Amino acid sequence: MDKSVVKFAKTAGPSLLVWKVPSSLLEEGSEGIQVFALPLMSRPGGILDAVPTNVLSSDVLLDAMLRDELGTVGPSKEFIAQMMAEEEIGSGIVEIEVISPCCEEEPNALPKVISVLPVILEWIESVASERVSF
């Protein structure tokens, strides 16, 4: 992915990305999944994304918090944001692979991350780790 074309929530309305979750981050025996990811901020060597809750197990998240070396997943925290959905516009149907929604009740809705961005920035400042230094 070329980060120069990605729009981040900190500076603009975020791009809508699809993350194909590596099988190494899923519970053993789980099938591969794809989820929507909203890029919040960029840093050298990585980005901070908002992804749906329960995509990664608590074991994977705990391991990422305790690990010293860089990995695909770093420190994380759960935040609650309002959901927003746009009206469907267009006349065609595009066939794509199945992407797990952010909200099962409203599969076309995405979190309004800009509303919780100040709280996320506070969290980043409170975490003493080079991996979350933005």
Residue range 26-71, pLDDT digits in tens: 877 777 789 999 999 988 778 889 999 888 888 888 888 888 777 7
What's the confidence (pLDDT) of residue 134?
55
Distance between CA atoms of residues 127 and 132, nearest Å: 7
pTM: 0.78
Task: Using DSSP, state whether 84 is helix, strand or coil.
Answer: strand
What's the confidence (pLDDT) of residue 96?
65
* Mean confidence (pLDDT) of the chain: 82
**Structural contact between residues 21 and 34, judged by C-beta atoms closer than 8 angstroms:** yes
